[in-house]
Amino acid sequence: MDFETVDVLYKSRLTLLKILKDKGYNTKPFEKFGPFEIETMASGDKEKALNMELTRELPADTPLPTVCRVEYAIPRVKNRLAGFLRKLLTNEETGEDLIDTKKTEIVVITLEAIGDTFHTAALNQWAKKSVRIAFFDARTLMSNPLDHVLVPKHEVVPEEEHAELLKTYNMKSKTNLPIIRFHEDIVARILGLIPGSIVKITRPSPSAGVYIIYRVCAP
C-alpha cells in the first residue's frame, strides 16, 4: 500500500476517533496505533482488519444508538454497494437482521467521493429499516470539518425539547425551519442527524455577539 493511502487512513482514523469520543463513545481500545499498524492492518483483510465496534453509556430510555460499528470498504464499493449493505445488515442464509437498528449506528469509511449513490443508499436504509448509516470518504476526515474556522458551532437539540422550541418561536411544525440535508451535508453525517432532527447553529455576529439559528434535518 502506498504512503499516501496509509497517511489518509491514519489521519482520518484519528479524526474519526475524536469525533466518536466527543459523542460519548469509549475509544480507548482503539487509540494505540500508528502509521505502521494501519499499513499492516490494511494490507491484510481490508474489509475487516480496520473495523471497529464502540459503545457508549446512555440512559435506558434514550432514542440514541449506544453502539457504533465502523466498517472500512477500502476496495471500491460504489459499484457493489447493494451487495455490500446486504452482507453488512442481513444474514444471507436466514434473512434475519444482523444489527439492532434502535441501538446501532454504522459508519462506512471509503476511499471514494461520496455522491448521490451513497446519499440515496443511506436514505433508503433509513426509510426501510431505520438504519443509521453514514458514508465518508477518508480524505474528507483527515481533519475534523467541525473544527474549520468557517464552520459554526452545531449542537443537536434533544427530541424532548422540540415541542418547546417550536412553541417559543411560534411555529406550527418543524417544516417552518430551514433545512439541513440528511447525509448530503457532512456535518449532518458527523452529528448523526436523521430526518426530523433539529440542530442548533451558533454563528458569530458583529452586532449581537452571537446569532443562533435552527435547522431541521430533511431527506
The DSSP secondary structure of 64-127, one letter per residue, reads S-SEEEEEEE-S--GGGHHHHHHHHHB-TTT--BSS-TTTEEEEEEESS---HHHHHHHHHHHH
Residue 14 has pLDDT above 90, yes or no: yes
Same domain assignment for residues 108 and 13? yes
pLDDT band at 31 (very low <50, low <70, confident <90, very high): very high
Which residue did the predictor score with more confidence, 48 or 31?
31
pLDDT band at 133 (very low <50, low <70, confident <90, very high): very high
Same domain assignment for residues 137 and 59? yes
Query: Distance (Å, rounded) from C-alpha 11 to C-alpha 18?
Result: 11
Same domain assignment for residues 103 and 122? yes
Same domain assignment for residues 69 and 162? no
What's the CATH code of the domain at 199? 3.90.940.20
Full domain range(s) for residue 96: 3-141
First and final CA of the chain: distance in angstroms? Answer: 37
The predicted-structure confidence for 38-71, as pLDDT tens digits, reads as follows 888 877 665 578 999 999 999 988 889 999 999 9
Same domain assignment for residues 114 and 67? yes
Read off the pTM.
Answer: 0.93
